[in-house]
Amino acid sequence: MNDTLSLLIGLAMGLNLLALGTSRLPVLIRAVAAQGVLLGLLPLVLEAHALDWRLILITLATVAGKGLLIPYMLIRAMRAAGIARELEPFIGYIPSLLLGAGGTIAAVALIRYLPLLPEHAGTLHVPGAMALILTGFILLIGRTKAISQVCGYLILENGIYLAGLLLIRSTPILVEFGILLDVTVGIFVIGIIVDRIQRAFDSLDTRKLTALHE
């Protein structure tokens, strides 16, 4: 079980690096989608000994939401705005990659000093969650296009989701749905805002929004 778990999380961490290193928005969106699918399958692996129809339903819903619905909407927004590339990031691609890789290594190294339960200590579960959150933050801080930032939020949410799976036995899955719902609503809102920003300013560059401050 641990091997499958680590494999899935390891793949998700690899997708982080892809998300950090690419300048193409379609690649970024697909990386996030693939990460969502991988993480959506995790409950099946974790609870393999007690499968029931509710768990399968939840897994299907998560995979459909993270892997299909949200990426589909993002790609639509991207097409509507007519942008395919992130051209002027605050933090360049190579530095982002280095930061992400460094953060991932640090997360794995840090795990030794954290007071974890014995069943979590041997897996990539906790460092994976930390690496995802870190990657989300790097994208949020380092990118200027609103769509890239949405992807950053999604990766951040994936990290929170992964961390939340640690508590799968004590937290009702409803809470997870609550988080996902928040993010979905957030994406709807951001989608609408992106559209408005595009129409009003002829650009999706969030740096130009500073003119609105105060």
Partner 1 sequence: MIAVLLALAGLCLILAAGMGRSHPRIWLGLSVIATLCGLSAALSVLGGGEIWLWRGGFTLGGEVPSLRLDGVSALFLILVCVVGGLGAIYSHEYWSEHHYPGSAPKSRSWWSILTLSMTLVLTCANGLHFLFAWEAFALSAYFLITLDHGRGEVRKAGWLYLAASHAGTMALFAFFSALAARTGTWELGPVHAQAGLAPLFWLALAGFGVKAGMFPLHIWLPSAHANAPSHVSAIMSAVAIKMGVYGIVRFSGWLPLPENAGWTILAIGCASALFGIAFALAQNDIKRLMAYCSVENVGIILIGLGLSVLAVQHGQPAWGKAALAGTFLHVINHGLLKTLLFFGAGSVLHATGTRDMSRLGGLWRAMPWTASLFAVGAMAVSGLPPLNGFVGEWAIYQGLLRAVAQKEHAAGVLPAVIVLAGSGALALAAFAKATGVVFLGAPRTKPAAQAVECGWLMRAPMFLLAVVMLVIGLLPGLFFAPIMNSVAAWAPQWSGADPLLSPRTLGGAHTVLACALIAGVALLLRMVRTNGTRQSPTWDCGYVAPSSRMQYTSGSFAGIARGWFVWLLRPEVLIRRVRGHFPGRALVVERIPETVLEKIIDPGARAVGYMADAAKKMQHGRLHLYILYVFLGVTALGLMILLGGV
* Minimum gap (Å) between residue 112 Cβ and partner 1: 12
What tokens appear for 97 in the block? 């990659």
Of 53 and 113, which CB lies nearer to partner 1 in the complex structure?
113
d(CA 173, CA 166): 12
Tell me which residues in 1-20 interact with partner 1 (CB under 8 A): none
d(CA 6, CA 136): 20
Of 3 and 214, which CB lies nearer to partner 1 in the complex structure?
214
Of 30 and 86, which CB lies nearer to partner 1 in the complex structure?
86
Alpha helices in the chain (DSSP H): 2-21, 25-40, 42-46, 53-62, 70-81, 93-110, 118-121, 125-142, 146-165, 173-201
Under rule CB under 8 A, residue 116 binds partner 1: no
Amino acid 4 reads T
Applying CB under 8 A, the span of 13-21, 27-35, 193-201, 202-210 interacting with partner 1 comes to 202-210
Under rule CB under 8 A, residue 141 binds partner 1: yes
Of 4 and 144, which CB lies nearer to partner 1 in the complex structure?
144
- Would you give the end-to-end CA distance of the chain in angstroms? 53
Binding mask 38-77 for partner 1 (x = CB under 8 A): ----------------------------------------
